[in-house]
């Protein structure tokens, strides 16, 4: 983790500075400034538009009763793109603009999901909840014939024991 932070806070700004100086040396002095400003404006507009689209997709998925995992991943990648657009530089602006394009974002999503699948293990535990006249007994062994039953409470009434 320390290596990634080192790269993020030292190597990336040095590369950005070198690129801006190189572009300024190869062209007029105002070209790198105009590039950074124009990509910032275009990226902010794209981030806002794509962000609203992601929010609408999340709301639609929730209304339909589905988990909005794909739309939320889009939202996170759009947020990352917006953060990259705030930082001045050529490299970060190009990466951010790429993240704002849906086909590029789809490739990044697949890579992130593949990485998460390699790193995350999902384990489930099986336990039995038994009830006795004295109350819940959590130490009862699980039997192989446990069955999950879906139920819905139609009316609930609690009486005072006093």
User: Would you list the DSSP string of 33-59?
Assistant: HHHHHHHHHHHHHHHHHHHHHHHHHHH
Q: Which has more confidence, 3 or 144?
A: 3
- Cα(55)–Cα(156) distance, rounded to whole angstroms? 37
* pTM summary value: 0.65
Q: According to the model, what pLDDT value does residue 123 have? A: 66
Give domain limits for the chain: 36-119
How confident is residue 107, by pLDDT bands cut at 50, 70 and 90?
Answer: very high
Residues constituting the chain? 162
Q: Is the pLDDT of residue 89 over 50?
A: yes
Q: Using DSSP, state whether 104 is helix, strand or coil.
A: helix
Exposed, middle or buried, 108 (CB in 10 Å: 0-12/13-18/19+)?
middle
Specify which of 59-63, 82-86, 121-125, 128-132 reaches the highest per-range mean pLDDT: 59-63
Tokens of 145: 């014939």
Q: What is the pLDDT of residue 137?
A: 47
Q: Is the pLDDT of residue 130 over 70?
A: no
Segment 132-141 mean pLDDT: 48
């Amino acid at each position: 983790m320390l290596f990634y932070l080192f790269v993020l806070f030292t190597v990336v700004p040095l590369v950005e500075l070198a690129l801006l100086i190189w572009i300024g040396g190869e062209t007029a002095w105002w070209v790198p400034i105009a590039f950074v400003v124009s990509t910032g404006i275009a990226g902010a507009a794209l981030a806002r538009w794509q962000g609203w689209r992601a929010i609408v997709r999340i709301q639609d998925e929730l209304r339909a009763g589905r988990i909005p995992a794909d739309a939320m991943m889009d939202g996170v990648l759009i947020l990352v793109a917006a953060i990259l657009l705030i930082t001045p530089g050529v490299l970060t602006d190009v990466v951010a603009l790429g993240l704002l394009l849906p086909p590029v974002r789809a490739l990044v999503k697949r890579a992130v999901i593949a990485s998460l699948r390699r790193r995350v293990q999902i384990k489930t535990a099986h336990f039995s909840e038994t009830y006795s006249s004295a109350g819940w007994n959590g130490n009862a062994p699980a039997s192989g014939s446990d069955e999950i039953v879906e139920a819905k409470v139609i009316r609930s009434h609690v009486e005072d024991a006093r």
